[in-house]
């Protein structure tokens, strides 16, 4: 296990994250990626889910990035245990697999997101920020072939030019405040545009909306 030492924090405390993955190189790369973001901080990274509850208590972690497949690891059981013990904790699953039944099981047990390890960097960062912001939406970001068409639905409407602008910035992992500043509109207007985008695309999260918009060729992949 590796736990970071003292560091200089910005005025607003970064989101505290624990990365759990038995592949050390991948885990190290993940931590390095996250720690380049000023509002995110990996407080610990481990190669097993054993003793994870005690580690969460010590580090006051807010978000857990949890690998689905590890030795001696029952992902659904671990998710149930963590979400029951820490109701405010946000568990995001990272995986190389994308079986629909497993996705549904993990979400039903309290996971706030299920992301394939091939997702773009921006999608991961956005999922972490959305989870920590206590967004009600569930993040599912997997290859389109991994989930049945009924989950994704069909894009029946197009987006307005302003809605496309908002979604392009959201795809770049900008916050509502950052988007409002760039477009010179209020945060409330940004939220309204996002609600309209979700409704038009049948999306359940920003990442889902971005993926659907890209599939429908409404925006380009960031």
Q: Give the tens place of pLDDT for each residue, 110-151.
A: 898 888 888 888 889 988 998 888 766 677 776 654 443 333
Q: Give the tens place of pLDDT for each residue, 55-104.
A: 999 999 999 999 998 988 899 999 999 999 998 999 999 988 777 778 87
Distance CA 20, CA 91 (A): 11
Distance CA 80, CA 109 (A): 5
Sequence-distant (6+) residues with CB within 8 A of 222 are 120, 122, 168, 171, 172, 210
HSE value, Cβ hemisphere, 13 Å, CA-based, for 165: 13
φ/ψ of residue 19, rounded to 5: -105, 130
18: part of which helix (H) or strand (E)? Answer: strand 15-20
């Amino acid at each position: 296990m590796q736990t970071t030492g003292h560091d200089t924090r910005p005025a607003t405390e970064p989101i505290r994250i624990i990365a759990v993955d038995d592949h050390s190189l991948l885990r190290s790369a993940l931590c390095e990626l996250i720690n380049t973001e000023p509002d995110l901080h990996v407080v610990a990274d481990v190669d097993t889910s054993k003793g994870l509850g005690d580690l969460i208590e010590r580090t006051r972690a807010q978000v857990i990035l949890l690998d689905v497949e590890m030795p001696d690891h029952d992902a659904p059981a671990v998710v149930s245990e963590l979400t029951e013990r820490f109701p405010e904790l946000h568990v995001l699953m990272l995986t190389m697999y994308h079986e629909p039944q497993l996705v549904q099981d993990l979400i039903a047990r309290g996971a706030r997101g299920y992301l394939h390890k091939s997702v773009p960097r921006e999608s991961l960062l956005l999922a972490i920020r959305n989870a920590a912001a206590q967004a009600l939406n569930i993040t599912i970001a997997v290859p389109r072939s991994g989930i049945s068409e009924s989950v994704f639905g069909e894009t029946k409407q197009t987006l307005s030019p302003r809605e496309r602008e908002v979604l392009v910035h959201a795809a770049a992992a900008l916050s509502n405040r950052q988007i409002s500043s760039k477009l010179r509109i209020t945060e409330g207007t940004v939220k309204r545009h996002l609600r309209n985008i979700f409704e038009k695309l049948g999306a359940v999260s920003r990442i889902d909306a971005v993926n659907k918009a890209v599939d429908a060729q409404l925006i380009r992949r960031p």
